A = this chain, B = another copy of it.
């Protein structure tokens, strides 16, 4: 499922402009499991328009470019359903926060704490974000995904709050770290 498919998915929820689709990905219903930038959204919309999967209505605005509102066509809905009927590829995740915590021993204690607290906040805010949307009348799939997100975010935040001492107790310059580093070197060379 590429960015074009996801734009079709967004437009299956409601008609939207490129800017609004970006907001749906970034802050809206998709924000916890999908994102794409303007660099791919606008080309995708142009391609979908050329292929007849969407139609476009331009609304003149004062002091701004005309707003282009895209709507899903029947052809587009069929294409979306076809994509949804395939098997999903594995999740793709890239987390700089987890990567930095993984290398916690190479960070200063202050930086380590900063990243950890920010990451906890990220999940707490994510929960509030999800809870801030009234679930009444939402389709079952969306409710399910909402509940999944909450479960995962709460588990992550709870684990990190309960285990922060494990990470914050690292002494960057002590013998234990060096011993651990030497153990890693030895383990690596054993291969």
Contact residues of A with B, CB < 8 Å? 1, 6, 9, 12-15, 29-30, 32-35, 80-81, 84-85, 87-108, 111, 114-115, 118-119, 122, 137-145, 147-148, 151-152, 154-156, 158-160, 163, 166-167, 169-170, 177, 180, 183-185, 187-189, 191
Contact = CB atoms under 8 A, between A and B. Distances in A.
Contacts of A111: 84-85
**Taking the full assembly, how many copies of this chain does it contain?**
2
| 10 nearest A-B pairs in the assembled complex, by CB-CB distance | A14-B188, A104-B141, A155-B155, A88-B96, A151-B159, A33-B98, A33-B95, A91-B95, A88-B97, A92-B94
Contacts of A93: 32-35, 91-94
